[in-house]
C-alpha cells in the first residue's frame, strides 16, 4: 500500500502541535517570541525591500527611515502580542497602520487619492470603507478555515490599498495577529528567495491562480514553524 503523503495543511497542524508540546515542557515561549520578533523586524524588511534599497542606497533619509521602520514594526508586533484576545476589526487594522507610520512622513488614515497596486488600479477611495467592512466580515466567518481567512485577509488588504503606504506590512501583521489568536506562530518571510517569490505569489493570486498563492503561504508558514521547532529543541 502506498504511504499517504501529508498535505501542507496536515504538516502545518503537526508542527503546531509539536511546538505546543515543546513549549509546555519548559518556559521557552519568550525565546521563540524573541526570535520571531528579530526576524520580523530586522530580517524580513531587508529581504522584502532589498530591490528598492539598492536604488536609494546613497540617500541618508533611507537610513533614518529603515531604523524607524524596524522600531515601528517591533512596536506593532508587541501590540498584537499584548492584545491576543482583541477582536480584529477595521479599526484595529488602522491602529496597526498608525503604529507603523509613527514618526514617518506616511499619513495615518485611509488614502484620499486613486492609486495602483502590483500593476492594477486599486479600488476607488469611495470603495475603501465597504471593502474594509467585507474584509472584517470574512475574517470572522467561521465557515472558512483559519488559514484560508488569514491568507485571504493578507491579500485583500494589499489589493484594497486602504493607506498611502505600508499596506503590505500592515497586511502581514494583521494576518499574523489572526494566526497567533488561533494557536499558530506568525509567518516570517526571511528566505532570500522571498524577495521575488512573495510578489510572484501575489501576482499569481491576481491572475486567478489561488492554489499557487496558497501553496506559497503554506510553505512560508511551514518554514517559520520549522525554525521555531529547531530553536526550541536546541535549548
User: Distance (Å, rounded) from C-alpha 177 to C-alpha 86?
Assistant: 10
138: in domain:
yes
DSSP-derived 3-state class of residue 190: coil
Q: What span, in angstroms and rounded, lies between the C-alpha atoms of 234 and 221? A: 20
Q: pLDDT tens-digit profile of 174-222? A: 999 999 999 999 999 999 999 999 999 999 999 999 999 999 999 999 9
Cβ distance 160 to 122 under 8 Å? Answer: yes
In tens, the pLDDT along 139-182 reads 999 999 999 999 999 999 999 999 999 999 999 999 999 999 99
Task: Flag the least confident range among 31-40, 112-121, 165-174, 217-226.
Answer: 31-40
User: What DSSP line would sit under 100-135, residue for residue?
Assistant: HHTTSSSPSS---S--EETTEEPPPHHHHHHHHHHH
Residue-number span of the structural domain to which 73 is assigned: 8-233
- CATH number, domain with residue 45: 1.10.3290.10
Domain count, the chain: 1
C-beta separation of 23 from 232 below 8 A: yes
Q: Is 3 among the domain residues?
A: no
User: In this predicted structure, what is the pLDDT of residue 4?
Assistant: 76
**Residue 128, CA distances (Å) to 107, 114, 151 in order:** 16, 11, 19
Entry pTM: 0.92
Asked if the structure places residue 1 within a domain, the reply is: no
Does residue 2 belong to any structural domain of this protein? no
DSSP type of residue 188 = -
Q: In which element (H, E) is residue 5 found?
A: none
Amino acid at each position: 500500500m502506498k504511504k499517504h503523503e501529508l498535505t501542507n495543511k496536515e504538516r502545518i497542524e503537526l508542527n503546531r502541535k509539536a511546538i505546543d508540546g515543546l513549549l509546555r515542557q519548559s518556559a521557552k515561549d519568550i525565546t521563540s517570541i524573541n526570535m520571531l520578533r528579530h526576524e520580523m523586524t530586522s530580517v524580513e524588511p531587508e529581504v522584502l525591500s532589498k530591490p528598492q534599497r539598492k536604488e536609494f542606497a546613497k540617500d541618508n533619509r533611507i537610513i533614518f527611515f529603515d531604523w524607524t521602520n524596524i522600531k515601528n514594526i517591533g512596536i506593532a508586533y508587541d501590540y498584537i502580542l499584548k492584545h491576543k484576545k482583541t477582536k480584529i476589526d477595521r479599526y484595529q487594522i488602522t491602529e496597526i497602520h498608525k503604529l507603523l507610520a509613527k514618526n514617518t512622513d506616511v499619513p495615518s488614515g485611509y488614502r484620499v487619492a486613486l492609486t495602483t497596486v502590483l500593476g492594477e488600479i486599486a479600488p476607488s477611495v469611495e470603495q475603501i470603507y465597504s471593502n474594509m467592512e467585507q474584509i472584517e466580515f470574512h475574517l470572522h466567518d467561521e465557515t472558512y478555515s483559519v488559514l484560508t481567512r488569514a491568507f485571504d485577509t493578507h491579500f485583500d488588504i494589499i489589493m484594497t490599498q486602504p493607506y498611502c503606504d505600508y499596506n503590505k506590512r500592515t497586511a502581514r501583521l494583521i494576518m499574523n495577529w489572526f494566526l497567533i489568536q488561533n494557536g499558530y506562530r506568525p509567518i516570517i518571510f526571511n528566505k532570500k528567495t522571498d524577495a521575488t517569490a512573495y510578489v510572484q505569489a501575489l501576482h499569481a493570486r491576481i491572475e486567478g491562480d489561488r492554489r499557487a498563492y496558497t501553496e506559497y503561504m503554506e510553505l512560508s508558514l511551514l518554514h517559520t514553524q520549522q525554525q521555531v521547532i529547531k530553536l526550541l529543541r536546541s535549548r
